[in-house]
Structure 1
Amino acid sequence: MVDAVGMRCRSCRGDAGDVVLDLGRQPAWDRMPWRDEPLPDPDFLLRMWCCRSCGLSQLCSDADASDELFGVEPRSVAEQSDRSIARLDAEGLVLPGATVAEFGSPHGESWLGRLSDAGMVTAAGRTADLVVDFYGLLHDADQDAALRARTASLAPGGTLAVQMLTLGTVLSLRQWFDLRHGHYAYWSLPTLDAALRRHGLGVHRAWRYPLSGGTILLTANRDPRPDAATLRLIDEERTVGVDDVGALCALQGAAESNAAALRGWLVSEREAGRTVAAYGAASRSVPVVSHAGLDSGLLSVVGDASPAKQGRRMPGTDIPIVTPGELVDSRPDRVLLFLPELADEVRETVPGIEAAGGRWVLLDPSLRVLEPALML
């Protein structure tokens, strides 16, 4: 384990901690150059640092700022938003006439439209009865200020609702590729609960959903009374090892073995005369491509439904980003799906892959080939 000189915790300001995951120098995931822009791209250290004082695992240092390209919201993300809002409604938090504010992110459509349709009123410049954070928190470099802002946005008796991918999921499933530039905080439930309590809030309820391996929706308020199920979720994350620096270092081993296995598989596919492409130029795909050292000789193209990304290339490599139609026209033998939760959706919307005899391959985080007879 290595300490990061000069690092201060983004939440508690502590200066003692350990680097638990080091992916070396990588390009910024959100700077996707146009296809004809020459290499090399600027690269930056990509490391996860765990604070010894408060336990927050966080981005050690960031890349230079760039404009994030908005993607097309996947069906699975939209459906999860519907489930989360239905849960908040069942908890009595979606009330006609009540005020709502949002801290959003580029990882999906705003919830305000759905909540407005339910009769809630957007709190323009006022405190709100319900403050929702849809993957927004991790995008703030100053986590203490971010939590302070969310607390200050709450009306008396108000509730903060946060949807996030927790460190418990990242660690238990060895999802090392969830570390990337611009994502500053990797909260576990117990660590976030402790941080919220420093701001006068606490986790009141929490629910786990299967999206991205394990997405958490939680509510927090000024009088938290967690039920047995919520306390169980918090304890489960502790059991996984989110408070244990040694356990967190297992992410490093997973990164090395998964990257080597992916590259080895791609080499063997090329030697067997099979062409491999990929689908999903998402943020989590960039650490995978970079850490495995991939180029267009191993991965021919990456298909993506976002017009903003088409015609560009993957950061740090010459792999072009193409439309789904262009992906099908290239007639790949295998298509690596960087986002396994999209499997059902892309098999429906891009049927030409299997119709031409190709196969989808999930990176989950190990490789798994999908056979058409199992799902079609």
Structure 2
Amino acid sequence: MPDGTTRCRACHGSDGPVVLDLGEQPPWDRMPPWDTPLPDAAYPLRMWCCRDCGLAQLEADAEHVEELFAVEPRAVVEQSDRSVSRLAAEGLLRPGGRVVEFGSPHGESWLPRLTGRGMTAVDPAGCPDGTADLIVDFYGLLHEPDQHRALHRRAAALAPGGTLAMQLLPLGTVLREGQWYDLRHGHYAYWSLPALDAALRGFGLGVHRAWRYPLSGGTLLVTARADAAPDAATRELIEEERALGVTDPAALARLQEAADDVRWLRDWLAAERAAGRTVAGYGAASRAVPLICRAGLDAGLLTAIGDAAPGKQGRRMPGTDIPIVSPDELAAARPDRVVLFLPALADEVRAQLPEVEAAGGRWVVPVAGREAVQTLPPLAMLGSRSPG
């Protein structure tokens, strides 16, 4: 789609370029049964950046994307616990307060944690304006095709003195870590802190506080209130992202450079095969799909991918013949190397599958931003930890 015909999902401007083009990609959620013949349907996957408001966004989506059920990792559960504890420490979880949640498929609802502290949950579908003392958005904004409407709904639902709290993966992390594979169908908006603050001010809100956590390379918990100004620590985060060039299309073009050179992963796998070593993967996650497809991987290089979600097992990765198997099946295959596509889950997954290392296998992590594969030290050297 030409740049001049694209409309920003937030400000409706039309001035901006495509900053990342991953070509034709299969929707990540369409994991067909393992024996379904190739090829799979594919659609353009491009990131467009609005020069007017600075929002990086999905230019056009596939025909239909439906998030698959996944087993919530311990790391995500722990992050949710940290975020709710932070909101409590800020005095935002008041008994009797009304809370509205805009959730997503990326984690379990926060409502049990919040109602367990005395708050009253209100359904967002029937929430009248001015209702919520607290709105929580756990990656929900990411899944809204119309960002202007989504922000308006959240701002309008706040009661006087209310707070909007959002968990998100900021564009600053994507750019800093070279995580171009975070672009995917069904994920519409990649907000930076500077752009988000500016957009919220159009609805009478402003970023107040932000805290960074290590999950997924660096997630943020952001709170916004009416006419708020960011505190000193949050201003530092905003300026740090601004210095990275998160609202500058020329700076965002660095993501294209990283995406264009993925031979390193294929070459490493080919070298492992030539050395007589078998390599499997773990984590049939959405971010693994563009990486696998862009590198042109197949079952000859990556024998299988293990995943704990029963709904994914017995299927294959979109766009390739790599089967998805259960963790037990992965361990029984005794691979020499296992590529972990979700690095944040390293301790959790390795503790759950000690058979891999007991059989002499090693876990490795692809580091796309540095075009390298990092071999993790044996778990025994780190001290085994229970996943409980």
Q: CA deviation at 1:5?
A: 4.7
Contact preservation (8 Å) 1:340, 1:364: no
Q: How many residues align?
A: 374
1:369 aligned onto 2:368: no
What is aligned with 2:194? 190
Contact preservation (8 Å) 1:3, 1:17: no
Equivalent of 1:137 in 119, 138, 141: 141
1:80 aligned onto 2:83: no
Q: CA deviation at 1:375?
A: 2.3
1:323 alignment partner AA? S
Give the Cα–Cα distance (whole angstroms) in 2 for the partners of residues 304 and 247 of structure 1.
Answer: 35
What is aligned with 2:97? 98
What is aligned with 1:109? 108
Q: CA deviation at 1:322?
A: 0.4
Runs of at least 4 residues off by over 6 Å: none
What is aligned with 1:119? 118
Contact preservation (8 Å) 1:302, 1:319: yes
Contact preservation (8 Å) 1:333, 1:359: yes
Per the normalisation by structure 2, the TM-score is 0.94
Corresponding residue SS for 2:174: helix
Q: CA deviation at 1:3?
A: 5.2
Q: CA deviation at 1:371?
A: 2.3
2:232 alignment partner AA? A
Give the Cα–Cα distance (whole angstroms) in 2 for the partners of residues 312 and 4 of structure 1.
Answer: 37
1:20 aligned onto 2:23: no
Q: CA deviation at 1:53?
A: 0.8
Corresponding residue SS for 2:211: strand
Query: Could you tell me the percent identity over the aligned residues?
Result: 66
What is aligned with 2:153? 149
Give the Cα–Cα distance (whole angstroms) in 2 for the partners of residues 198 and 346 of structure 1.
Answer: 43
Contact preservation (8 Å) 1:31, 1:68: no
What is aligned with 1:223? 227
1:369 alignment partner AA? T
Give the Cα–Cα distance (whole angstroms) in 2 for the partners of residues 374 and 142 of structure 1.
Answer: 48
Contact preservation (8 Å) 1:337, 1:361: yes
Contact preservation (8 Å) 1:128, 1:158: yes
Equivalent of 2:211 in 207, 214, 234: 207
Give the Cα–Cα distance (whole angstroms) in 1 for the partners of residues 237 and 2 of structure 2.
Answer: 30
What is aligned with 1:293? 296
Q: CA deviation at 1:192?
A: 0.4
What is aligned with 1:360? 363
1:273 alignment partner AA? G
Q: Which moved more, 1:66-75 or 1:51-60?
A: 66-75
What is aligned with 2:167? 163
| TM-superposition CA deviations, 1:303-330 (whole Å, max 9, x none) | 0000111111100111000000000111
Contact preservation (8 Å) 2:65, 2:186: no
1:19 alignment partner AA? V
Give the Cα–Cα distance (whole angstroms) in 1 for the partners of residues 313 and 63 of structure 2.
Answer: 23
Equivalent of 1:338 in 329, 338, 341: 341
Give the Cα–Cα distance (whole angstroms) in 1 for the partners of residues 92 and 11 of structure 2.
Answer: 30
Where does the alignment leave 5 or more consecutive residues of structure 2 unmatched?
384-388
Equivalent of 2:246 in 226, 239, 242: 242
What is aligned with 1:65? 64
2:260 alignment partner AA? E
Q: CA deviation at 1:200?
A: 1.1
Q: CA deviation at 1:36?
A: 1.7
| TM-superposition CA deviations, 1:146-192 (whole Å, max 9, x none) | 10111122112111000000000000111111111100000000000
Q: CA deviation at 1:226?
A: 1.6
Contact preservation (8 Å) 2:65, 2:185: no
1:254 aligned onto 2:278: no
Give the Cα–Cα distance (whole angstroms) in 2 for the partners of residues 57 and 146 of structure 1.
Answer: 16
1:335 alignment partner AA? V
Alignment of 1:164-183 (within 5 A): 164-183=168-187
Contact preservation (8 Å) 1:28, 1:64: no
Give the Cα–Cα distance (whole angstroms) in 1 for the partners of residues 357 and 236 of structure 2.
Answer: 42
1:273 aligned onto 2:273: no
Q: Name the Cα RMSD after superposition.
A: 1.2
1:314 aligned onto 2:320: no
Q: CA deviation at 1:276?
A: 0.6
Corresponding residue SS for 2:22: strand
Per the normalisation by structure 1, the TM-score is 0.97
Contact preservation (8 Å) 2:340, 2:365: yes
Give the Cα–Cα distance (whole angstroms) in 1 for the partners of residues 210 and 204 of structure 2.
Answer: 18
Q: CA deviation at 1:67?
A: 2.9
What is aligned with 2:386? none
Contact preservation (8 Å) 2:49, 2:57: yes
Contact preservation (8 Å) 1:278, 1:335: yes
| TM-superposition CA deviations, 1:9-45 (whole Å, max 9, x none) | 0100011111111111000001111112111110001
Equivalent of 2:327 in 318, 324, 328: 324
Corresponding residue SS for 2:212: strand
